[in-house]
Amino acid sequence: MTTLPQQVRYIQRPKTSGTINQSHLMVNEERDEEMTRSTLAAFRAKEEEIERRKIEVKEKVKAQLGRVEVETKRLAEIRQELEALHDPTRKEIVVIRKRVDSINRDLKPLGLNCQKKEKEYRDALEAFNEKNREKGQLIAKLVELVSESEKLRLKKLEELSKNIDSLS
């Protein structure tokens, strides 16, 4: 089978006269005409196939849209039914929710205050511990100095004692 561009070339080929005899010309014309008809038939068949597929797709889309619409209506009905349900504890729930919200509002400044106090406590504790460390260091220094002082005094006492013993 020839392609569409080849068939179009056959159709558009100019008719020559003169050296070609009449019967040969008729055969070529019939062949060209037959090719044109077969090309047109193939083209029409393809067009019909495309149209048929378009219609099938449109029908499928239409059916799908119909199902979507039905499901949307069904969901709307279900939503209305859910909203229509009366919860016997609904009022109590609303009251409790309001109290929870109120307590949450009260808790926020209390939490901030607690955090502030905790920070103050940590700062005071840190200052206290720092002073205790400083005190410990000073006491250690004091003990060391007192110890040295006692050693020096004992040494001097021993020297004095030796001096007294040597005088006597």
Q: What is the pLDDT of residues 103-133, one digit of tens each?
A: 999 999 999 999 999 999 999 999 999 999 9
- Give the Cα-Cα-Cα angle 20, 23, 28 (nearest 5 degrees): 75
Residue 78: band (very low, low, confident or very high) from pLDDT cuts 50, 70, 90: confident
18 pLDDT more than 70: no
More confident position, 34 or 150? 150
Distance of CA 157 to the CA centre of its chain: 86
Q: Mean pLDDT over residues 127-146, rounded? A: 96
Residue 143: band (very low, low, confident or very high) from pLDDT cuts 50, 70, 90: very high
Q: What is the pLDDT of residue 5?
A: 54
Residue 35: band (very low, low, confident or very high) from pLDDT cuts 50, 70, 90: confident
Q: Mean pLDDT over residues 89-109, rounded? A: 90
Helix (H) or strand (E) holding 88: none
Q: Assign residue 21 a region: left if phi > 0, alpha if psi is -120 to 50, beta otherwise? A: beta
Residue whose C-alpha is closest to residue 38's, from 92, 83, 2: 2
* Separation between Cα atoms, residue 108 and residue 83, nearest integer Å: 34
Q: Mean pLDDT over residues 14-18, rounded? A: 50
Single pTM value for the model: 0.36
More confident position, 3 or 56? 56
